[in-house]
């Protein structure tokens, strides 16, 4: 059973200014996995950072499709919508933490009636309550959205260490890249937004 009702993660990870001057706040940015990424769970991934501060970071992988369940099947499990009536919303593997918990990354035009949610930067927001699923099923949801199961989390200094070791590139997030680009093309599209061709990056991987 998919769970989507716990808001403690959102309150814990609300965007905060960095507490040390050397900590760059990457909230609202994209992380692009480098070819040499050692963790297979993040290989080839594009992560949208919902929150980042000196206390840690939280994000959602937005380019790894979940094949085991569709959005419609999730709504049926939660008894929100009858079979065949749900809109076709992408379902992603959001990360290896709490993989049975659901999060909706969406455009900031939507606000849950419960007033629970995390507005990231005025363009994107994340909601993890039943309200948004009910509203999407009823046609009252956000203009753009994707569903993520699980999330990616980093402790204090962990992401900064991975960045220093060239595990990730960072890029600006755009609505079209996250919501309109084909899942299989997001990694390449994110690199191209930096002027980097994937083949060039692959040929340089492993060289100082």
Domain count, the chain: 1
Q: Can you give the residue range of the structural domain that contains 195?
A: 25-202
Q: What's the CATH code of the domain at 59?
A: 3.40.1740.10
What residues does 25 pair with on adjacent strands? none
Domain-embedded: residue 4: no
Q: What pLDDT tens digit does each residue of the chain (208 aa) get?
A: 455 544 444 444 444 444 433 568 999 999 999 988 888 999 999 999 999 999 999 999 999 999 888 999 989 888 887 766 777 899 999 999 999 899 999 999 998 776 677 888 889 999 998 999 999 999 889 999 999 999 999 999 999 999 999 999 999 999 999 999 999 999 999 999 999 988 877 544 433 3
Give domain status of residue 20, yes or no: no
Give a yes or no: residue 156 inside a domain.
yes
Residue 94, phi-psi category: left (phi > 0), alpha (psi -120 to 50), beta (remainder): alpha
Average pLDDT value over all residues in the chain = 85
Tell me, what's the pLDDT at 6? 41
Is 1 inside a domain boundary? no
């Amino acid at each position: 059973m998919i769970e989507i009702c716990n808001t403690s993660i959102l309150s814990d990870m609300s965007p905060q200014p960095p507490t040390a001057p050397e900590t760059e706040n990457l909230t609202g940015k994209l992380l692009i996995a480098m070819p040499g990424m050692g963790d297979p769970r993040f290989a080839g991934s594009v992560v949208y950072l919902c929150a980042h501060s000196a206390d840690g970071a939280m994000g959602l992988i937005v380019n790894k499709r979940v094949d085991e369940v569709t959005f419609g099947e999730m709504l049926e499990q939660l008894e929100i919508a009858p079979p065949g009536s749900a809109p076709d919303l992408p379902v992603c593997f959001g990360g290896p933490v709490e993989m049975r918990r659901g999060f909706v990354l969406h455009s900031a035009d939507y606000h849950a009636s419960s007033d629970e949610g995390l507005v990231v930067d005025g363009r994107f927001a994340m909601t993890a309550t039943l309200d948004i699923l009910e509203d999407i099923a009823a046609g009252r949801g956000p203009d753009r959205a994707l569903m993520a199961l699980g999330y990616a989390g980093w402790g204090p200094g962990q992401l900064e260490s991975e960045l220093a070791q060239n595990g990730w590139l960072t890029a600006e997030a755009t609505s079209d890249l996250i919501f309109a680009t084909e899942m299989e093309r997001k990694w390449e599209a994110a690199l191209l937004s930096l002027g980097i061709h994937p083949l060039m990056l692959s040929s340089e991987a492993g060289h100082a």
